[in-house]
Amino acid sequence: MTRSPERPAAIFPDDRGWGRGTRPAINVTWYDAFAYANWLSEHEGLTPAYCTADSDVTWNLAADGWRLPTEAEWEYAARGGHLARL
C-alpha cells in the first residue's frame, strides 16, 4: 500500500474503503462527533445537546437532541449490557 505524503502513517492510516458502505468511520474526533450530534438534532427539529463557546463545550441536560453516550453508558454497552466487570 502506498501512503500520501500529506497523511503520515503514524497519524492517519491508509483508509481506502473505510467510512464507506458497512465499514466504520475513522479519524473522527470528539469534536466532530458532538458537532454531528448537534447537526442531526437541528436537522430533526430537536434542541442540540451541546453548547459551544470558543473551545469550551457544555452539555445541555434539558435538551431533547442527539448526544454522545456518557462514560458509564459507553462502559455498559462495551460490556454487552453487564454492570459488573467481565
pLDDT tens, 12-34?
666 676 667 777 777 888 899 99
Q: What is the CB neighbour count within 10 angstroms for residue 21?
A: 6
* Res. 73 pLDDT band, cuts 50 70 90: very high
Instruction: Give residue 54's pLDDT.
Output: 82
Whole-number mean pLDDT of the chain? Answer: 82
The DSSP secondary structure of the chain, one letter per residue, reads ----TTS-TTTS---TTTTSTTSPP-S--HHHHHHHHHHHHHHTTPPPSEEEETTEEEE-TT--S--PPPHHHHHHHHTTT-SS--
Note the pTM of the prediction, 2 decimals: 0.67
